[in-house]
Amino acid sequence: MSNLLRSLLLGAISLLPLATVAAPPDTPTPTIADKTAGMKKYEGYFNLYWDAKQGKLWLEIDKWNTSFLYQSGLPAGIGSNDIGLDRGQLGATRIVRFERSGPKVLLIEENLAYRAVSNDPAERRAVHDSFAESALWGFTVAAESPDPSGDHALVDATDFFLRDDHGIPATLRRTKQGSFHLDSSRCALYWPQTKNFPLNTEVEATLTFAGDDPGPWVREVTPSPESITVREHHSFVQLPPPGYKPLAYDPRSSFFGISYLDYATPVSEPIVKRFTARHRLEKKDPKAAVSEPVKPIIYYLDRGAPEPIRSALLEGARWWNQAFEAAGYKNAFQVELLPEGADPMDLRYNMIQWVHRSTRAPAKSSRATSLSAPSASARIFSSPKASSRLTKRASRTPPKPWPWRSLASVNLPLTKSATRSASCTTTPPAPSTALP
């Protein structure tokens, strides 16, 4: 009996702490002001906060379920023509949105390859739910603040911006240059080109890829071939306002275009819809045979292009204005030298970019949104070899105006090399001061 009483007594004592220890209270989520106290704030399209002590970049999200443009790029490349990872190369162009569920925030890439252009919401929803979207990243809310215009949430975006979005290891593997991986200990935010503006947020990062047995092309252009350091750029950009009139793509025009499947199409019509990627260009006087544009198309030449090639590039690119004049637009296409201090990766600038390679060859790159609307970005690359030919041509008599009837019929597409967002055709404001 005494053994039984002793066992019961010991059991009661062992359970006593469970009854007396209270559960910890829920820790309230701090406000953004409290969380960011002491941090450097950079206001813009999405507010940024830099915590220098922790080495973290915080992103304030105030636009929920609102589509915007996410563009990545490669401002500092490898320098090999054979590998093909050039300075200024554009990466993926995505239409994305932020969604929140409790403390979790997802960055969702919309699937615009399949849609139903219909006034029936149920029909649109059926197509939307039939094809997968892509969650590009998941964030955790660290602070929040109510606001009359909508809730604001603060997330740690450091790892998001320090990841590889350009597929560098895959490209090196495909070109048989070795097996490389991102080394996080040698990655950091690059502040000289991290900036914020009212309609776009720009973040740049230095990334290092480590590998074994690098290939001959890597050895040719890298000081330490087992360590490849480049920079990648991320742009969050507000989409252009409504009012753009899409133009059906004509394969005879030789211009770039976009396409998608429209499941609201009548069975008697093709389900694939194709549209021309072009600038938004409107006349000040729509009734005039020749009129100045509401907003001109302006291209900026990279200041890195040396003379006499710089002058040749400016002169040669400006010849395009003759085609626009023939189509009824005066001073619609302009080419200027990039303002000193401006960032070539800032998506507000249409760029003619100067690129050096270990072997000389021209290149070009372009991206357009899949919104059957305006084009999304423009990069025309020039190299010493390509520009040497242009220098000789520029010394000759400029060509006669082009009597291209197709040019007027497609309502003035851009050059054959690239296209740009309609919201970005105005002259950008002077570049702001870089972040720390």
Tens digit of pLDDT for each residue in 27-78?
788 999 999 999 999 999 999 999 999 999 999 999 999 999 999 999 999 9
pLDDT score at 326: 93
Q: Which of residues 233 and 14 earns the better pLDDT score?
A: 233
Tokens of 76: 């500092």
Distance (Å, rounded) from C-alpha 263 to C-alpha 118? 9
Which segment of 4-8, 279-283, 375-379, 386-390 scores lowest on mean pLDDT? Answer: 386-390
Tell me the sheet residues that pair with 76.
231
Tokens of 216: 């001959």
The terminus-to-terminus CA distance of the chain in angstroms comes to: 77
Please write the tens of the pLDDT for every residue from 334-385: 999 999 988 887 878 888 888 887 765 444 444 444 444 444 445 555 555 4
Pairing of strands 350-354, 195-196: unpaired
> Region 312-323: what's the mean pLDDT?
92
- Residues 174, 85: contact at Cβ < 8 Å? no
Distance (Å, rounded) from C-alpha 152 to C-alpha 270? 44
> Region 185-212: what's the mean pLDDT?
95
Which 8-state DSSP code applies to residue 191? G
pTM for this prediction: 0.77
Tokens of 178: 């070795």
Average pLDDT, the chain: 81
pLDDT score at 146: 82
Tokens of 19: 């009854």
Taking 60 as the threshold, does the pLDDT of residue 399 lie above it?
Answer: no
Distance (Å, rounded) from C-alpha 18 to C-alpha 75? 59
Tokens of 220: 């040719």
Distance (Å, rounded) from C-alpha 417 to C-alpha 395? 23
Distance (Å, rounded) from C-alpha 323 to C-alpha 301? 20
Which segment of 19-33, 56-70, 80-94, 299-313 scores lowest on mean pLDDT? Answer: 19-33
88 pLDDT tier (thresholds 50, 70, 90): confident
- Residues 428, 346: contact at Cβ < 8 Å? yes
Q: Which amino acid is at 87?
A: R
Please write the tens of the pLDDT for every residue from 100-147: 999 999 999 999 999 999 999 999 999 999 999 999 999 999 999 887
Taking 50 as the threshold, does the pLDDT of residue 390 lie above it?
Answer: no
CA neighbor of 377 nearest in space, from 338, 352, 354, 350: 350
Query: Looking at 213-356, which runs of residues are DSSP E strands?
Result: 227-237, 257-262, 272-276, 297-301, 333-337, 350-354
pLDDT score at 359: 66
pLDDT score at 245: 87
Residue whose pair of structure tokens reads 């694939």 in the numeric block: 272
Distance (Å, rounded) from C-alpha 158 to C-alpha 172? 25
